Amino acid sequence: MHLHIISFDIPYPPNYGGIIDVYYKLVALKRAGVKIHLHCYEYGRKPAQELEQWCENVYYYPRSTGIWNSLYKRPYIVQSRRSKELINRLVQDEYPILFEGLHSCYFIDDKRLKNRKKIYRESNIEHHYYYHLFKAERNLLRKPYFLLASLKLFIYQKILKHASLMLVVSQSDTLYLQQQFPGQRVVYLPSFHPNDEFSVISGRGYYALYHGKLSVMENYQAARYLIEKVFRGSDYQLIIAGLDPPESLTRLAQKYVNVSVVPNPDDDTLFGLIRNAHVNVLVTFQPTGLKLKLLNTLYQGRFCLVNKHMVTGTGLDQLCEIANSDKEMKIKIDEVFKREFKHSEVERRKELLKGVYSNKSKAEKLIKLVFE
Mean pLDDT within 344-369: 90
pLDDT > 70? residue 263: yes
pLDDT given at position 288: 65
pLDDT given at position 314: 78
pLDDT > 70? residue 69: no
pLDDT > 80? residue 284: yes
Mean pLDDT within 190-198: 86
Domains 2-193+358-371 and 207-353 share a fold: yes
Please tell me the pTM assigned to this model: 0.86
Structural domain spans, the chain = 2-193+358-371, 207-353
pLDDT > 80? residue 68: no
Quick one: fold of 207-353? Rossmann fold (3.40.50)
Query: How much of the chain, in percent, has pLDDT values that exceed 90?
Result: 76
pLDDT given at position 345: 92
Among residues 305, 360, 312, the alpha carbon closest in space to that of 195 is found at 360
The average confidence (pLDDT) of the chain is: 93
- The dihedrals phi and psi of 258, each to the nearest 5 degrees, come to -100, 10
Among residues 10, 24, 16, 43, the alpha carbon closest in space to that of 242 is found at 16
Which of 154-158, 207-211, 343-347 bottoms out in mean pLDDT, i.e. has the lowest?
343-347
pLDDT > 90? residue 216: no
pLDDT given at position 194: 87
Among residues 191, 363, 188, 216, the alpha carbon closest in space to that of 286 is found at 216
Quick one: fold of 2-193+358-371? Rossmann fold (3.40.50)
DSSP 2-61: EEEEEESS---S--SHHHHHHHHHHHHHHHTT-EEEEEEEESS----GGGGGT-SEEEEE
pLDDT > 80? residue 17: no
